[in-house]
Amino acid sequence: MSETLRGLRVWICALGCRSNIYEAEALAGELAARGASVSAEAEGCEVAVIVSCSVTATADRKCRQAVRRARRVCGVVAVCGCWAQALPGEDVLNLGIDILAGSRMKHLLPGAIEAKLASPGSAPLEFRGKNRDEDTEGDAKWDSLSLDRPRLRTRAFLKIQEGCDHFCSYCVIPFLRGRSVSRNPEDVLAEVKRVVSSGCREIVLTGIHLGDYRTGDVTLPDLIDKLSALPGLSRLRLGSLEPFALTTPLLDALADSPIFCRHLHLPAQSGDDGVLSRMRRGYKAGDFLSLCDLAREKLRGDLHISSDILVAFPGETESAFQNTMSLMERAALGRVHVFPYSPRKGTEAWSFGGRVEPRVASDRVAAAASLGERLLSRYASRFIGATVSILAESEREGVLEGYSRNFLSVEAEFDKKLEIGQKIGQKIGREVDVLVRQCANGKLKGARIQ
Ligand code: SF4
């Protein structure tokens, strides 16, 4: 690869989901291969690449803020992803965006940056993915990005599925990311081998609708079997998995995998059947609870089930909200991300009546988040006195930080008594055993024992 970007400093900013993180990492690798140096900070960079998100109004606002920050300090501003896909042309000009790449167009970015640097002052370059109704063919294509090694994080997020055909009534993603498409399993395996040979011990399979993964007769359980046999890979995780995609064959493949980390993120969204029906989620609260029971039966009782909860959906009454709080308790969830409903133009729910007052919505967010904290502490406390293995991600003042296999955040002090004398920093990216002594706000604290 010619070093056309030698000496260039590029700010890579990934907003939103884990698929965006993968795309940011892959773009970082592509730009580094062309000689650029990649930074997680804008200051001092000539080029900014913003991998954008549009899942909520807040996400839109953050994208605008990132573009304005980039415009202040960088020479070339490139924006890609969901927010970019729907951004009107006049906004591209008003915000001073130089390059826009919509869905499935991100692979064009490195070449576009070269072109823009060769002709500064030229008109913005725009590569928009066609909307899903306009282009059935184009939508089925995979955006050809690939990863050699993670640069921005210790673990590697690997996108294996794109798009979604489920159309939950509140979700704009199917309109922005297009139809569901899965990546060729040989490409996935080749990418994992590259990442592992770079020294990375942990991968997180991710997608927009991960459970929809299928190419020909290769399904997600098949892929997990293949990955679990790869030498050098010691920790395998799944990104967010829609509950309606959690099947018995998938649970069996995870149970058989010696490297699967016992954590599942299953977005329940609500615990009220009426709300779930209007959300078009395709399951009832009771189904979600049965799934949690089945998952614990198959994957051991200490399985960490985390979730997303969307409160104040149009028409959500106080009793419907209480059903959600009750589901969170009965499912014995761990970490819970709570979001207020965000109206998205173009979605079915956009025209639903019964909008919940903002004050009531924020009260419900606060109540659900507070319950979530209690549930996480309750789940994490069971590990006090146990030894957990963490992937060391950072070190601060002689304390290692990382995540356990059950996806709990862990701080590990260096235990002077053991006098092992190894430099703690040498442990970053490696697995370390920690004897857990206490739990504070869902975070485990202990001592490194090897
Ligand atoms: S499954 Fe539903 S929430 Fe998830 S991306 Fe698809 S439409 Fe959105």
Q: What is the CATH number of the domain that holds 424?
A: 2.40.50.140
- Mark whether 118 and 260 lie in a shared domain: no
What's the CA-to-centroid distance between 166 and ligand 1, angstroms?
6
Atom of ligand 1 nearest to the CA of 280: 2
What's the CA-to-centroid distance between 210 and ligand 1, angstroms?
10
Site to substitute for ligand 1 among 242, 277, 347, most atoms within 8 A of C-beta: 242
Is 364 in contact with 317 (CB distance < 8 Å)? no
Structurally, the chain folds into a number of domains equal to 3
Q: What is the CATH number of the domain that holds 294?
A: 3.80.30.20
- Mark whether 263 and 355 lie in a shared domain: yes
What integer pLDDT is reported at residue 394 of this predicted model?
87
Residues with Cβ within 8 Å of residue 137, at least 6 apart in sequence: none
Is 243 in contact with 283 (CB distance < 8 Å)? yes
Atom of ligand 1 nearest to the CA of 174: 7
How many Cα atoms within 13 Å fall on the side-chain side of residue 147? 32
What's the CA-to-centroid distance between 268 and ligand 1, angstroms?
12
Q: What is the CATH number of the domain that holds 41?
A: 3.40.50.12160
Site to substitute for ligand 1 among 170, 171, 213, most atoms within 8 A of C-beta: 171
Site to substitute for ligand 1 among 54, 56, 179, 208, most atoms within 8 A of C-beta: 208
Give the model's confidence band at 420: pLDDT under 50 very low, under 70 low, under 90 confident, else very high: very low
Determine what percent of the chain is predicted with pLDDT higher than 90: 80
- Mark whether 220 and 333 lie in a shared domain: yes
Is 341 in contact with 310 (CB distance < 8 Å)? yes
- Mark whether 285 and 417 lie in a shared domain: no
What backbone phi and psi angles, to 5 degrees, belong to 237?
A: -125, 160
How many Cα atoms within 13 Å fall on the side-chain side of residue 34? 17
How many other C-beta atoms can be found within 10 angstroms of the C-beta atom of residue 423? Answer: 8
What integer pLDDT is reported at residue 8 of this predicted model?
92
200 vs 4, 197, 252, 428, CA distance in Å? 28, 7, 26, 10
- Mark whether 306 and 363 lie in a shared domain: yes
What is the C-alpha separation between 389 and 234, in angstroms, rounded? 11
- Mark whether 211 and 279 lie in a shared domain: yes
Instruction: Determine if the pTM surpasses 0.75.
Output: yes
Is residue 132 in some structural domain? no
Is residue 260 in some structural domain? yes
Is residue 307 in some structural domain? yes
- Mark whether 28 and 114 lie in a shared domain: yes
What is the C-alpha separation between 98 and 396, in angstroms, rounded? 39
Is residue 142 in some structural domain? no
Is residue 143 in some structural domain? no
Is 238 in contact with 265 (CB distance < 8 Å)? yes
Is 272 in contact with 316 (CB distance < 8 Å)? yes
The residue whose CA is least distant from atom 1 of ligand 1 is 166
β-sheet bridge partners, residue 447: 413, 435
Is residue 65 in some structural domain? yes
Determine what percent of the chain is predicted with pLDDT higher than 70: 93
Structural domain including 309 reads: 156-381
**What is the DSSP secondary structure assignment for residue 424, as one 8-state letter?**
G
* Least confident span in 6-10, 133-137, 210-214, 244-248: 133-137
230-274 pLDDT per residue, tens: 999 999 999 999 999 999 999 999 999 999 999 999 999 999 999
Is 264 in contact with 246 (CB distance < 8 Å)? yes
* Least confident span in 232-241, 316-325, 353-362, 427-436: 427-436
Is residue 166 in some structural domain? yes
What integer pLDDT is reported at residue 44 of this predicted model?
92
- Mark whether 375 and 390 lie in a shared domain: no
- Mark whether 107 and 171 lie in a shared domain: no
Q: Which residues approach ligand 1 with their CB closer than 6 A? A: 164, 166-168, 171, 173-174, 208-209, 242
Atom of ligand 1 nearest to the CA of 172: 8
Site to substitute for ligand 1 among 17, 54, 56, 167, most atoms within 8 A of C-beta: 167
Atom of ligand 1 nearest to the CA of 167: 7
* Least confident span in 87-91, 153-157, 198-202, 404-408: 153-157
What integer pLDDT is reported at residue 54 of this predicted model?
96
What's the CA-to-centroid distance between 168 and ligand 1, angstroms?
6
Residue type for 210, please?
A: L
Residue ending a domain, choose from 352, 381, 410: 381
- Mark whether 272 and 242 lie in a shared domain: yes
Residue appearing with tokens 């419907």: 320
The vertex-283 CA angle with 278 and 288, nearest 5°, equals: 125
The residue whose CA is least distant from atom 4 of ligand 1 is 209
- Mark whether 219 and 323 lie in a shared domain: yes
Residue ending a domain, choose from 381, 399, 428: 381
The residue whose CA is least distant from atom 2 of ligand 1 is 168
- Mark whether 256 and 405 lie in a shared domain: no
Is 417 in contact with 448 (CB distance < 8 Å)? no
Residue appearing with tokens 């293995």: 389
* Least confident span in 5-19, 132-146, 376-390: 132-146
Is residue 247 in some structural domain? yes
| pLDDT of residue 424 exceeding 60 | no
